[in-house]
Chain A
Amino acid sequence: MSDFTSNFWSVYVTAVTVIGIAACLFLLWFSGKAKAMTAHDNTTGHVWDGDLREMNNPLPRWWVGLFVITIIFSAVYLAFYPGLGASAGKLGWTSSGQFQAEIAKGEADIAPIYARFDAMSAEDIAKDPQAHAIGERLFMNNCSQCHGSDARGSKGFPNLTDADWLHGGSPEKIMETLNQGRVGQMPPMAAAVGSGDDVKNLANYVLSLSGSPHDSVRANLGKSKFAACAACHGSDGKGNPALGAPNLTDDIWLHGYGESAIINIVNNGKVNQMPAQVQKLSPAQIKVLSSYVWGFSNTGVAK
């Protein structure tokens, strides 16, 4: 209620609530008795159409008691919980407080489960069936949106099940990726490479590195232009995990396969981002998750 500049609405709501409850009580008391013609035969004495008569079927008093109990309940409820305008109630209950309490309870509940994995190495966690089940759920809820349900990624989103790692594939590196996120940056290189034809030649050279179908004449012409790329991808094109520069000699194409896709990347560059998870997941969860992801390419455990 602090959103309001004056306390008018608070007073208004309080008044409506209190008057409403009081009116219920008054109605209950007021309608307990009625003036009626009585025929002393459990009818009110009212007669229509000669023989149609109104019976007096009183409400059982215990049911009136139930109404009174609801009124008492509402008074007690309003004393303890927020309900009367801006009043917070004796218990100071809020829905966000309830939410925080539930989160704390949830974390306390799962703490003993994760405690088991504290002392375990990533390799052992990856083989543990319970950790596998937890990891699978964490992956489905937090990672599969980009990397796919089977962790094999798609265009722009790395495949996590192969042995190719942009930033290194050790459990520690994966954990670092999860915690801090990653930004993969390839600057537009067209200016450094030269004309459009040069870029096309370079693309063919890049294709030749992995033995993919290419035009060998153009590849030979483009070889010299690779110097512009070697700073990051290495002179042999094998990439550099420290920079997150992809290996160009394997058959894995994160941003598309073929000449035109490579030309596009060289001309326009690419910024690719993996968001940090440190705010979202607890350290214990990240440990289990990174071991689980590491396990895709390193253990024989079927996924």
Chain B
Amino acid sequence: MNAPASTAEKKIIPIVASPDKGSIAPPPGADEETIALYEAHQKIYPRSVSGYFSKWRWALVFLTQLVFYGLPWLEWGQRQAVLFDLGARRFYIFNLVLYPQDFVYLTGILVISALSLFLFTAVAGRLWCGYACPQTVYTEIFLWLEKLAEGDRSARMRRDAGPWTLDKVWRKAAKQCMWIAVGLWTGFTFVGYFTPIHSLGMELFALSMGPWETFWVLFYSFATYGNAGYMREQVCKYMCPYARFQSAMFDKDTLIVTYDELRGEPRGGRSKKADLSTLKLGACIDCSLCVQVCPTGIDIRKGLQYECIGCGACADVCDTVMDKMGYARGLVKYSTQNAVNQRWSGADILRHVLRPRVLVYSSVLLAVVLAMLVSLWMRAPFKVDVERDRSTLARIVSGGRLENVYRLQIMNARETHQTFEVSAEGLPDLTLSTDSSMEVGPTESRWIAIRVQLPYEGATPGSHPIHFTVKSAPDAAVVTEKSVFIVPR
């Protein structure tokens, strides 16, 4: 996938970082020796970077975290705007009140998320990984705090290699304090989606948080702290399932962060004033900055690798180097494999965006989004379940009428009182012998026993399909539910 066409002799299947050139065939008489199959973690010290893609990444960090940390504090009427009340089984999303019966919408959101992931990946590679994934976002925040306390890459490396001095101790302690603070705040916010965050805050200050809330705050805090502070690229490389199947969405017209080998090689150091044409060198000055900034510690010049999360840090840093050298930007850039190999322009890349795979992903995505919106739009503001009585099949009541009993559960999905009008249809002379109108409180669910009667004379024995129609008085929404009326022999 990564091997440019010009190096046809290099046919390594690039499932991992490809080895350096010159070691393709095993040396004759290679030694047999005992090798370790478990590898000690080698700490990666990513160098901080600034540039176009870095700005985008920070913008996405701010955007996603503004939503995540801010949303639970939003009030909507008398309650929290977004609240998943697991205890009461009501899910509030602004003016939407969802019941567990509305689970299909969650499925819809998941399907939309998955299809969007497929679509973005097919067009522009690992956009999600590089910019929006919580693992990337929190790692970015934690790295920034680390830099505040301990300085950039070289300072951190030097200090870690050196002895424990007072300076090292307080810097490490400061970093830990900041990390733990961000972790705890993240855990607290997370639980705030399930327990009203204002009362959760009160409980926190009064140290009276419930055991489960305490557990989840601490658990989520620890997960944030561990994943963003220590695990970092290990999560992407060894745990994330998406990293393992994203290559199924890639093709040669997918935008990837790539090194322009035709232009860069042969690489080598040179003076800024040196004349490229006489040097017989490519544009790459082998400064290794692209390796130093990489959060997963790979060398982009070895081609596309599964560890590459597509964050564009290497492209940013290479552009600054190219600027300094006075060369054209874009030695490492977002491009496609076809574009690099066949020297396509930006317009050529655009022309190849609308591939069958992209069209299929987008049309399915569009269809699901539309179906979801239409379904939400047409959703009645209440739900009805009809259950036949558990024991009484049918009975004869005074007046010689045949009676069946049903239980109707009416679930009010509005935050106001609703009055409902119930009627039963489907058989001639079918009447309700109970009050046909009932009131259900805001977001309340109420069971009501309904008796339906039929004149006994002339009724054919057996079960007859009938249906209940429930009308909401305020806005005339109608829900119809099927049931059966039983006439005994």
Contacts and interface: CB of A to CB of B under 8 A. Distances in A.
Interface of A: 31-45, 47, 51-53, 55-64, 136, 140, 144-150, 152-155, 157, 251, 257, 302-303
Contact of A144 (B34, B40, B389): B389
A144 B390 contact: yes
Contacts of B392: 148-149, 152-154, 157
A242 to B, nearest CB: 27
Nearest to B13: A52
A41 B20 contact: yes
A34 B37 contact: yes
Interface in B431-489: 434-435, 447, 449, 451
Contact of B37 (A31, A52, A147): A31
Contacts of B37: 31-34, 56, 58-59
A61 B449 contact: no
A36 B32 contact: yes
A41 B36 contact: no
A55 B16 contact: yes
Given A55-B16, A63-B238, A149-B449, A35 B391 contact: no
User: Nearest 8 pairs between A and B by C-beta?
Assistant: A58-B39, A150-B449, A41-B23, A39-B26, A41-B19, A154-B395, A148-B392, A154-B392
Given A51-B12, A148-B405, A149-B449, A56 B35 contact: yes
A38 B32 contact: yes
Contact of B30 (A39, A59, A140): A39
B307 to A, nearest CB: 11
Of the four ranges (under 10, 10 to 19, 20 to 34, 35 or more), the interface on chain B belongs to 35 or more
Contacts of B34: 33-36
B275 interface: no
Contacts of B17: 42
B23 A34 contact: no
B38 A64 contact: yes
A60 B38 contact: yes
B11 A60 contact: no
B429 to A, nearest CB: 20
Contacts of B31: 37-38
B269 interface: no
B249 to A, nearest CB: 23
Q: Which of B27, B392, B435 has the most CB of A within 10 A?
A: B392
A63 B23 CA distance: 30
Contacts of A33: 34-37
25 contacts: A32-B38, A33-B37, A34-B35, A35-B33, A37-B31, A38-B32, A39-B23, A41-B23, A42-B17, A42-B19, A51-B11, A51-B24, A51-B25, A56-B35, A58-B36, A58-B37, A60-B234, A60-B238, A63-B238, A144-B390, A147-B391, A149-B389, A150-B389, A152-B403, A157-B391
A59 B38 CA distance: 5
Contacts of B451: 150, 152
A60 B41 contact: yes
Interface string B393-434: 111111000010111000000000000000000000000001
Nearest to A31: B37
A251 B398 CA distance: 8
A42 B26 CA distance: 11
| A40, A136, A149 pick with most chain B CB within 10 angstroms | A149
A58 B392 CA distance: 68
A145 B40 CA distance: 65
Given A43-B19, A152-B395, A154-B393, 17 more contacts: A35-B35, A36-B32, A39-B23, A39-B30, A45-B32, A53-B12, A56-B35, A57-B16, A60-B38, A60-B238, A144-B389, A147-B391, A149-B390, A150-B451, A152-B451, A153-B395, A154-B394
Given A32-B36, A37-B30, A146-B391, A62 B41 contact: yes
A257 B396 contact: yes
A64 B41 CA distance: 11
Contacts of B19: 41-43
A45 B28 CA distance: 10
B319 to A, nearest CB: 30
B39 A45 contact: no
Nearest to A151: B449
A152 to B, nearest CB: 7
A278 B32 CA distance: 80
Contacts of A47: 25-26
A160 to B, nearest CB: 12
A146 B405 CA distance: 13
Nearest to A143: B391
A282 B451 CA distance: 31
Contacts of B30: 37-40, 45
Nearest to A303: B449
Given A55-B16, A257-B396, A303-B449, A150 B405 contact: yes
Contacts of B238: 60, 63
B406 to A, nearest CB: 8
Contacts of B40: 61
Contacts of B449: 148-150, 303
Q: Which residue, of A60, A147, A251, has the highest number of chain B Cβ atoms within 10 A?
A: A60
B26 A45 contact: yes
Contacts of A146: 391
A58 B24 CA distance: 20
A45 B15 CA distance: 17
Contact of B391 (A58, A62, A144, A257): A144
Given A51-B11, A148-B392, A40 B23 contact: yes
Nearest to A252: B398
Contacts of B36: 32-33, 58
Contacts of A52: 13
Contacts of B234: 60, 62
Contacts of B15: 55
Contacts of B390: 144-145, 149
With most chain B CB atoms within 10 A of its CB, the pick from A57, A150, A303 is: A150
Nearest to B400: A257
A153 B31 CA distance: 90
A302 B447 CA distance: 13
A38 B33 contact: yes
Nearest to B397: A152
